Amino acid sequence: MPASIDPDRTEWDVVVIGGGPPGEVAAQYATQDSGLEAVIVEAELVGGECSYWACMPSKGLLRPVEVLDLGRHLAGVKEAIGDRTVDVDAVLARRDSIVNHLDDSSQVQWCMTTGIDVIRGHGRLDGERRVVVTKPDGGTRTITARQAVVLGTGTSASVPDIPGLRAARPWISRDVTNLHTVPRRVVIVGGGPVACEAATWLLGLGVVELTLVQDVPYLLAKNEPFAGAMVADGLRACGARVELGTTVRSVSRAEVNAAGCGEIHGGEVVVTLAKGATVVADEIVVAAGRRPRSDDIGLASVGVEAGGFVTVDDHLTVTGVRGGWLYAVGDVNGRALLTHMGKYQARIAGAVIAARAQGKPLDGGTFSRHLDHADHDQVPQVTFTEPAVGSVGLTERDARDAGIDVEAVEYDLAALGGTRVLRDDYVGRAKLVIDPSTDTVVGATFVGTEISDLVHGATIAIVTKTPLAALWHAVPSYPTPSEIWLRLLETLAKQRSDTEIPGRLEPT
C-alpha cells in the first residue's frame, strides 16, 4: 500500500475494483477535470492482464520472431541469416524487461502521480456503493464510494471440461506468455487469436512438433473465412500440424508437478482426439476462450446475477441497479474483449461519472461518444501471426445476418508495388464490406505482412461513415500497402459497372 494513503480512510468519490487498463483509465477520466477522488482496489498487479500476461509479453515474444521471418524472405538479408534462429534467452530476457519483471511499482507510481490511490486486496461489493476489501494479510477493510463504483475485474482463461485436461495442469495464456522453458512438443487447444499467436511464437522459439486443435473447420472464426485459411497455411508452412473440425476427447498425464507459471507442469501429455488419433507432447496449452471474473465480487448484494458477463447500457452503467452508481468496463461486461476497447469504454464511463457528479447533461459533446456503439460493430483488432490479420467492423456474413444487403470487394495485396518491396514472397488479401444504401464501408479485413497500420484508416472510414466518393480523394502514399484502398475502390467500380449495380462510387 502506498505510504500516502491513510489506512483508516473509508470514503472516496469513486472506487474502482480492478486495476487493469480499463480501471486505470476510468479512474483517470473520472477525476482529472472534476475534482473527484478515486481509489483502485487490485489483488494482483496494477496494470492487469494486458501489461503482464497478455498484450505486452505476447507482442514482445512475437516481434523477434517476426523480424527474423521477414529477414529470411528478403534477398540480401536471408543470405546473411542463413539457418540462424532467434536467441531464445535474449528474447525471454527482453520479454521480462517489457513486463518489468512482473513488478508494478511504476504503474502504482503513475496512479499516485495522477492523484489516484491504490489499495492492495480483493474488492467485493457489499450493498450500495460499499466495497469490502480482503487484504493480503487476510484482514478486511470496508470503503464507500460517494459517487460511483466501477467494476474492471476482467476475465480469466477458460479450461474446458475435457476428461483429464484440468488434472494435467495445462498451460493457459499466462503460462505461454511467461514461459521460461520452451517445450519440444506442444499441443494447443483453440483456434482464436491467442492460440494462433502462441503457435507463431512457439514455433519461432524452437518448438519442434506443434499441433493445433480447433473444434470448428477454420481458424479465427470471427474473421472473414479467408483470413483463417491463410493463417492456417502460414502455420503449416512453419511445420505446424493444424487439426480443424475436431475436438480433444481426453488428456492424460502420469506425472504432474507444482512448477510455477511458464514452467513445464509435468511429464509427457497424451492427447486423444475425437477422431481417434493420439498426440504425445511435453506441454498442452489451452486457449479456448475467456470467462468473466464476476463470480466473487459481490454482485448478489446489489441484485445482479453473478457468474456471467455484467450487462451495461451505453453509458457503461450496470443494468438492473437503481441509482446509476455502478459501472462495468472492459472484458467483464463482454462487449468487446480487447484492451483498447476496454480503455475506450473507460473513457466514456469516467467522463459520465464526472458529468453526473457535476450535474452536466450527457446528451452531447464528449459524452455522446457512447451513441456510436463503437464496441459493438466498429471494433478494430490485429492478430500478429504470419501473415498478420487486421480487421474492423462487420464481416460480410455478420452484415448480412444484421439485415444489410451488402456489397463486398476483395483484392490481392501481393499485387501491389508497396507490398512487393516488403518481402520476396508476399502473401495477402484485403476485403471491404459496403452498405450500398449509404455508400459507406461497414467492415474491412487485411491479411498480410505489416498490415496493422491499415486498420486505423479503415476504422476512421467506418466510424465517421465517410462516403466512398470522398475516399477517392484520400491519396495513398506510394509504394506502401495503403495503395490497397485505391485498388479496392477501382475494383468495386468495375464490379458495379459490370453488374449494373447503382451507386455513387465514381470520384467527384
Encode pLDDT of 159-178 as tens digits.
Answer: 999 999 999 999 999 999 99
**Side-chain-side CA neighbours of residue 441 (13 Å):** 29
Indicate left, alpha or beta for 94 from its phi (over 0: left) and psi (-120 to 50: alpha): alpha
pLDDT attached to residue 93:
98
List the single range of 110-114, 276-280, 319-323, 497-501 with lowest mean pLDDT: 497-501
Q: Taking 60 as the threshold, does the pLDDT of residue 199 lie above it?
A: yes
Cell (9 digits) for 116? 489516484
Please tell me the distance from the alpha carbon of residue 163 to that of residue 165, in angstroms, as a whole number: 6
- How far, in Å, are 81, 204, 472 from residue 73 at the CA level? 10, 15, 33
Task: List, in order, residues 6 or more apart from 193 with CB less than 8 Å away.
Answer: 220, 381, 383
Q: Is 316 exposed, middle or buried (0-12, 13-18, 19+ CB in 10 A)?
A: buried
Q: Is 138 exposed, middle or buried (0-12, 13-18, 19+ CB in 10 A)?
A: exposed
Cis peptide before 21 (omega within 30 of 0): no
161-178 burial, b if ≥16 CB within 10 A, otherwise e?
A: ebebbeebbbbbbbbbbb
pLDDT attached to residue 362:
85
Q: Taking 50 as the threshold, does the pLDDT of residue 504 lie above it?
A: no
Give the strand pairing for 440-448 and 388-393: antiparallel
Q: Taking 60 as the threshold, does the pLDDT of residue 500 lie above it?
A: no
- How far, in Å, are 13, 26, 124, 239, 341 from residue 353 at the CA level? 10, 9, 20, 51, 18
pLDDT higher for 365 or 425? Answer: 425
Cell (9 digits) for 19? 486495476
Q: Taking 90 as the threshold, does the pLDDT of residue 498 lie above it?
A: no
Name which of 423, 396, 442, 409 is nearest 481 in CA terms. Answer: 423
Main-chain dihedrals φ then ψ at residue 34, nearest 5 degrees? -115, -15
Grid-cell match 470467462, residue found: 291
Q: Taking 60 as the threshold, does the pLDDT of residue 245 lie above it?
A: yes
Please tell me the distance from the alpha carbon of residue 260 to that of residue 258, in angstroms, as a whole number: 6
Q: What is the pLDDT of residues 294-319, one digit of tens each?
A: 999 999 999 999 889 999 999 999 99
What's the predicted TM-score (pTM) here? 0.94
**Side-chain-side CA neighbours of residue 107 (13 Å):** 24
pLDDT attached to residue 371:
56
Grid-cell match 518491396, residue found: 421
Indicate left, alpha or beta for 112 from its phi (over 0: left) and psi (-120 to 50: alpha): alpha
pLDDT attached to residue 503:
44
pLDDT attached to residue 499:
65
Q: What is the pLDDT of residues 402-424, one digit of tens each?
A: 999 999 999 999 999 999 999 99
Q: Taking 60 as the threshold, does the pLDDT of residue 9 lie above it?
A: yes
C-alpha torsion angle, residues 447, 453, 458, 460 (rounded to 10): 160
Name which of 306, 309, 285 is nearest 297 in CA terms. Answer: 306
pLDDT attached to residue 275:
82
The answer to whether 305 and 272 have CB atoms below 8 angstroms apart is no
Element (H, E) at 407: strand 407-411
pLDDT higher for 501 or 77? Answer: 77
3-state secondary structure of 189: strand
Q: Residues of the chain with pLDDT > 70: what percent?
A: 95
Q: What is the pLDDT of residues 362-392, one digit of tens each?
A: 876 666 666 566 777 899 999 999 999 999 9
- Across the beta sheet with 185-189, the strand order is 241-244, 209-214, 185-189, 283-286
Mean pLDDT across the chain, nearest whole number?
Answer: 94
pLDDT attached to residue 368:
63
Angle between helices 225-237 and 193-205 (to 10 degrees): 20
Please tell me the distance from the alpha carbon of residue 304 to that of residue 149, in angstroms, as a whole number: 14
Q: Which residue type is seen at 449?
A: T
The answer to whether 20 and 50 have CB atoms below 8 angstroms apart is yes
Residues linked to residue 409 through DSSP beta bridges, in sequence order: 432
pLDDT attached to residue 84:
95
Cell (9 digits) for 472? 477517392
- Average pLDDT of the residues in 441-448: 98
The answer to whether 150 and 327 have CB atoms below 8 angstroms apart is yes
Residues linked to residue 185 through DSSP beta bridges, in sequence order: 209
Q: Taking 70 as the threshold, does the pLDDT of residue 122 lie above it?
A: yes
Please tell me the distance from the alpha carbon of residue 3 to that of residue 112, in angstroms, as a whole number: 10
pLDDT-derived band at 502, boundaries 50, 70, 90: very low
Q: Taking 50 as the threshold, does the pLDDT of residue 2 lie above it?
A: no
pLDDT-derived band at 3, boundaries 50, 70, 90: very low
Q: Taking 60 as the threshold, does the pLDDT of residue 61 lie above it?
A: yes
The answer to whether 492 and 434 have CB atoms below 8 angstroms apart is yes
pLDDT attached to residue 363:
77
